[in-house]
Amino acid sequence: MAKRNVPVIQRTLFSWVFTPGNLKLQILLIIIILVAVVARVVPLEMQKRIVNEAITMGQMELLIKYCGIYIASVILASGLKFAINTIQTLIGQRTLATMRRDLYRHILTLPLHFFRKSQPGMVVSSLVTELASAGDFVGMALAVPAASLLTLAAFAAYLLWLNPLLAAVSLALYPMVMLILPRLQRRVNRANKQRVDITRTLSSKIGESITGIQEIHGNGSFAAENRKFDGIVETLLKTRIVWNLYKFGVKVTNNFFNNLGPFFIFLLGGYLVIQGRLELGALVAFLSAQEKLYDPWKELIGFYQAYQDATVSYRRTMEYFDEMPNHPMVPEDRAPYELTGEIRVKDVTFLVDGDIRLLENISLNLEAGEHMALVGFSGSGKSTLVHCIGQLFDHTTGSVEIGGKEVSTFTKADVARNIGIVSQSPFIFDGTIEENLLYAYLSAREGDGTEPASLDDEIEAIQQAGLFVDVLQFGLNAVLEKEQHAGLVEQILRIRENFRQTLADSLSDDVEFFNPNAYLQYSSVAENITMGAPNRDDFAHEHLCGNRYFRRFLDKADLTRPLLSLGADIARQVVDILGNLEPDPSLFERSPIQPEELPDYKELTDRLKRQKLHQLSPVDQEMLLRAALRFAPGIHPIVSMPPLLENLILEGRALFMDRITEDDPDAVTFYEMRHYIHSQTLLNNILFGKLKTDRPQTIEKINQAIIQLLVEEDLMETVVRIGLQYQVGNKGENLSGGQRQKLAISRVFLKKPPVLLMDEATSGLDNSSQARIQHLLDSRWKGTTTLISVVHRLDIIKNYDKIAVMKAGKIVEMGAYDDLMGRKGVLYELVGNT
C-alpha cells in the first residue's frame, strides 16, 4: 500500500488498488465472487441431472426440482454479477477522481518553466482522457482476475470430475494460447505507446492553435496550420490502424482456439457416448461447461489488454509530470510569515537555458513603505527582476530578502501572505467579479481564521482602482430573479416614480416614457400592441409571428391585413434603397430588415409585383408580418406609419390586454407604473421608457439622477452587491481590457500586502485612469506598502522615492528623480527622447 506522503507521480498503478477507501470494497468483492462462482457451477450439474435423471427416468417432480434450482442459480449469478460490476465501477470511478484531483494539485505546483514548454491541450488530455483507462483498471484489478481464475478453476475441476480424459484434451489448448498471445500483446503495447504520444502531440497542437487563434486570423495562416494538423492526424490514423489490427489479432487468435475446444469435445465425447463410456447428460454438461470456460478466459484476456493499455497511459502521464515543485506549498512547523516590507537584493544573477544572462549582479535596497520605479529599455530585465523578487522565477545566484527573510526559502503560503503582484496582462478567471476580487485575499488568508472581507472593503478596493462605476452599471443592468429581492422591487418602483416626477419634463426630448394611452414612436409595433414585456419565450416579440394565439388575435382585431400592407411597404422601400448596396450592418441600423434577410425579401418583392397580399403563401405573409412587427417609426424612418394604423393598434392594444388577461395572465407583464418588469434590467425598470438618443451627456445626466435616487433609497450598496455577481466569462471576455486591468488592481488592493509588485499594471488604462491610480499609490500606499513598479510612462515617476534605470540586465542608474535628472545620464536621455 502506498504511503500517503508519496507524490502522486511516483505512485505505481497497483498502489491505487488497496488504498484505504477501496480496501473494504475489495474484501466485499471477494466474498461476492466466491458465492457467484458456486452459483455459476450449479446450473451445469443441474443440466446433467435433468437429462440423466428427470428426462431419462420420466420423473416430473425431479424435472421441476432441478429446473427450479437451475433458474434460481442463474438469477442469483446474474444479480451477483451486477453487484460485482457496480462495486468495480464505484472503485474505478472513485479512484479516477482521486487520481485527477491529486495530479491536478501536483500540476498547479510545478515551476513556471514547466508550463512554458507544455501546451494546455496536452495537460487537458492527460487529466481528462489518459487517466481514464487507469481508473477503469483499478476497478477491475482485483475483481476480474479473482472471478475469472476462480471460475476457471471451478469449471476445470468440474470437467475433471465429469471425465478426466475429455478435460485434459479441452484444457490442453490454453497453454498454447498463453504462448502466442503475449507476443501479439507486446506489439499492441508498442503501437499503443506511439498512439499515446501522437495523441498528446495532437492535443498540444489543438491547444496551441486555440491559444494563438488571434495570430492565425491576423496572418491568415489557415492553410499552414491545416497542413500541420493534417500531418499529425495522418500519422495518428496510421498508428491507430496498426494498434487496432494487433488488438483484433489478439481477439481472433483467442476466438480461434476457443472454437477448437467444441470440435475435440464432439469428436472424442461423441465416441465415448457411442461406446457407452460416458452418459449423454454428462456430455451435455461437459459441452456447456467447456463453452462457459470461454467467458472467464475472455475476461482474463480483456483484463490483460486493459492492464497493458492502462499501464502505458499511466506511466506516460506520470513520467510527463515527473517534476517537483521548487518550493513547498505551506510551512510545516510554523504559521506563514507576517513580514515588514523592507527589500534587500544583493548581487542577483538570473540565467536561463544556454547560460543566457537576463539579470547580472543586481543590487538594491528599499525600506518598508518606500516606492521604486523600474524604467529602462525594452528587454532590459525589468519584468524579470520583479518576477525574481516575487519568487515567480528562482534567481541563479545572489540573494533576495523581504523582511529579513530569504525569498528562496519562502513557501508559497509565505509569498501569498506578503507579496501582491499585478502584471501587464492579468488573468481573469471565469466566475463573478466578486470571486475574482476575493481571489488573492482568500488565498493569502487560507486557513488562518481571518474574517472574510466585508462589502465595505470590496467597495473600497474597486473605488480605488476606478471599477466602482462599472460594477454599479453591471448591477443596474442585471435582471432580478422573480423570487429574489422582493423588498428591492418595491424600492425600485418608488425610484421609478421619483425619476418620472423629477425628470419627465427635462428629458422629454431624449426619453419616450411608456404611456398606455399613447402610441410609442420608439417602440416596435409588437411592443405597441402588447404594451408589455413577455414572460415566456413564445410571447417574445421576435416570436410573435409564429404564435398561434397572437395570430388569431390579429385576425380578430382586424390588424392582419393592415400589418401585411405595412410589411409590404417596408420590404419595397428597403429593397429599393439598400438592395444594391453592400450588406454593411451599419446601413441597416435604421431598417427593420436585417442584412442576411435581404435576399429573401428581394425575392418576396418580386412576387408582390405578380400577386396580391391574400394570394401570398403563409411563409411570405409571415415574412411581411415580421417586418411590420419590428417596425418602430422613431428608429426606422424608411417608411412612415399611417395614422389610421396607429389608431387601430391603440384599439387593438386595449383588446389584447383584456383578452390576454383573461386567457393567459402570466404571458405578459404590462407596462404600467405599478408593475415591475422581471424580464427587464433594473435600469430599464427605473427608466421605464426608450431612449431617443445616445448622446453621452444625456446618458450621463440619467445615470447621475439614478445614482442620486439610489442613494436616497439607501440602495447603492445593494445594487453594487448585485453588480459584483456579474459573470465575467472565460478569461474575462465579458469585460473590456481596461476593466480587466482595474479588476486585477482591485484584487491586490483588497489583499493589502506589505510588498506590492506592479509590472506595467496600468499600461492598459487611459491616461486619466493611470494618473488617478498613480496619485492613489502616492497618497495612500506610500509609507504602508513597499512598491516596486515597472513603469512605461516616464511622466508619472517623479514622486517615486527611488528610480532604477535598467539596461541589458543591469541597473545602470538608481536614485531620486531630481538627482538622476541632474546627472543628465541615462534617465535624462530617456525622458528627453519621450
Burial class of residue 594 (count of CB atoms within 10 Å of its CB; 0-12, 13-18, 19+)? middle
142 versus 518: which is more confidently predicted?
Answer: 518
Helix (H) or strand (E) holding 294: helix 294-320
Average pLDDT over residues 300-311: 80
Q: Summarize the chain as % helix, strand, coil (round to 5).
A: 65, 10, 25
Q: Which residues contact 252 (CB under 8 A, 6 or more apart)?
A: none
Q: Which residues contact 406 (CB under 8 A, 6 or more apart)?
A: 399, 400
Average pLDDT over residues 530-541: 91
pLDDT, one tens digit per residue, over 40-52 is 878 777 877 777 7
Helix axes 280-292, 143-162, angle to 10 degrees: 160
List Cα–Cα distances, 649 to 91, 527, 553, 654, 661, in angstroms.
67, 10, 12, 9, 18
pLDDT of residue 831: 86
Rounded CA gap, 112 and 109, in Å? 9
pLDDT of residue 302: 75
pLDDT range class, residue 3, cuts 50, 70, 90: very low
Q: Which residues contact 44 (CB under 8 A, 6 or more apart)?
A: 155, 158, 285, 288, 289, 292
Burial class of residue 799 (count of CB atoms within 10 Å of its CB; 0-12, 13-18, 19+)? middle
Q: Please provide the DSSP assignment of 482-531 as one string.
A: TTS-HHHHHHHHHHHHHHHHHHTTTTTTTEEE--TTS--TTS-HHHHHH-
Of 220-229, 420-429, 450-459, 678-687, the poorest mean pLDDT is in 220-229
pLDDT of residue 177: 64
Helix (H/G/I), strand (E/B), else coil: 398: strand
On average, the pLDDT of the chain sits at 85
pLDDT of residue 397: 94
Instruction: Please state the φ and ψ torsions of residue 342, each to the nearest 5 degrees.
Output: -70, 140
Helix (H/G/I), strand (E/B), else coil: 590: coil
Q: Please provide the DSSP assignment of 151-203 as one string.
A: HHHHHHHHHHHH-HHHHHHHHTHHHHHHHHHHHHHHHHHHHHHHHHHHHHHHH
Residue 689 forms beta bridges with which residues? Answer: 513
pLDDT of residue 445: 79
Residue 617 near residue 587, CB atoms below 8 Å = no
Residue 821 CB: number of other CB atoms within 10 A? 16
Most confident of 322-326, 396-400, 477-481, 828-832: 396-400
Average pLDDT over residues 384-393: 92
List Cα–Cα distances, 368 to 341, 344, 623, in angstroms.
4, 11, 71
Rounded CA gap, 327 and 465, in Å? 32
Average pLDDT over residues 296-303: 75
Q: Which residues contact 798 (CB under 8 A, 6 or more apart)?
A: 817
pLDDT, one tens digit per residue, over 755-779 is 999 998 888 788 888 888 988 998 8
Rounded CA gap, 759 and 791, in Å? 7
pLDDT, one tens digit per residue, over 11-54 is 888 888 888 778 888 888 889 988 988 888 787 778 777 777 77
Q: Over 570-582, what HEC string results?
A: HHHHHHHHHCCCC
pLDDT of residue 667: 92
Does residue 519 have a pLDDT over 70?
yes
State in Å, rounded, how far the first CA of the chain is from the last one.
66
Q: Considering just the CA atoms, what is the radius of gyration of the chain in Å?
A: 39
Rounded CA gap, 227 and 686, in Å? 56
pLDDT of residue 280: 61
Rounded CA gap, 70 and 111, in Å? 63
pLDDT of residue 830: 87
Helix (H/G/I), strand (E/B), else coil: 279: coil
Rounded CA gap, 746 and 738, in Å? 12
Percent of the chain with pLDDT over 70: 89
Rounded CA gap, 298 and 251, in Å? 9
Average pLDDT over residues 166-176: 64
**Closest listed residue to residue 786, CA positions, set 421, 363, 370:** 370
pLDDT of residue 267: 62
Instruction: Please state the φ and ψ torsions of residue 533, each to the nearest 5 degrees.
Output: -105, 135
Rounded CA gap, 40 and 38, in Å? 5
List Cα–Cα distances, 206 to 112, 335, 796, in angstroms.
21, 43, 42
* Residue 657: all three cell numbers together: 390586454
**Strand segments (E) across 323-367:** 343-352, 356-366
pLDDT, one tens digit per residue, over 688-742 is 998 888 788 888 888 888 888 898 888 899 999 999 999 999 888 999 989 999 9
Average pLDDT over residues 601-623: 90
Most confident of 185-194, 304-313, 432-441: 432-441
Residue 331 near residue 414, CB atoms below 8 Å = yes
Rounded CA gap, 832 and 617, in Å? 75
Residue 384 near residue 392, CB atoms below 8 Å = no
Helix (H/G/I), strand (E/B), else coil: 757: strand
pLDDT, one tens digit per residue, over 67-102 is 898 889 889 988 988 898 888 888 888 888 889 899
Residue 121 near residue 206, CB atoms below 8 Å = yes
Average pLDDT over residues 127-144: 85
Does residue 383 have a pLDDT over 50?
yes
Domain 343-469+726-833 classification at class level: alpha beta
Rounded CA gap, 828 and 823, in Å? 8
Residue 512 near residue 686, CB atoms below 8 Å = no
150 versus 414: which is more confidently predicted?
Answer: 414
Helix (H/G/I), strand (E/B), else coil: 680: coil
pLDDT of residue 373: 94
Does residue 2 have a pLDDT over 50?
no
pLDDT of residue 281: 59
Does residue 142 have a pLDDT over 90?
no
Average pLDDT over residues 778-807: 90
Does residue 356 have a pLDDT over 70?
yes
What is the identity of the amino acid at 205? Answer: K
> How long is the chain?
834
pLDDT of residue 502: 86
Q: Please provide the DSSP assignment of 592-644 as one string.
A: SS-GGGHHHHHHHHHHHTTS-GGGS-HHHHHHHHHHHHH--TTT-TTSPPPHH
Cα dihedral 764/767/772/776 (nearest 10): 60
Rounded CA gap, 643 and 325, in Å? 76
Rounded CA gap, 798 and 383, in Å? 20
Does residue 303 have a pLDDT over 60?
yes
CATH topology of domain 1-163+302-326: ABC transporter transmembrane region fold (1.20.1560)
pLDDT range class, residue 219, cuts 50, 70, 90: low
Q: Name the residue ranges covered by the structural domains of the chain.
A: 1-163+302-326, 164-277, 343-469+726-833, 488-717
Does residue 289 have a pLDDT over 70?
no
Rounded CA gap, 465 and 744, in Å? 9
Helix (H/G/I), strand (E/B), else coil: 209: helix
Residue 79 CB: number of other CB atoms within 10 A? 13
pLDDT, one tens digit per residue, over 553-573 is 999 999 999 999 999 999 999
Does residue 595 have a pLDDT over 90?
no
Phi-psi region of 404 (alpha: psi -120 to 50; beta: other; left: phi over 0): left
Rounded CA gap, 183 and 253, in Å? 12
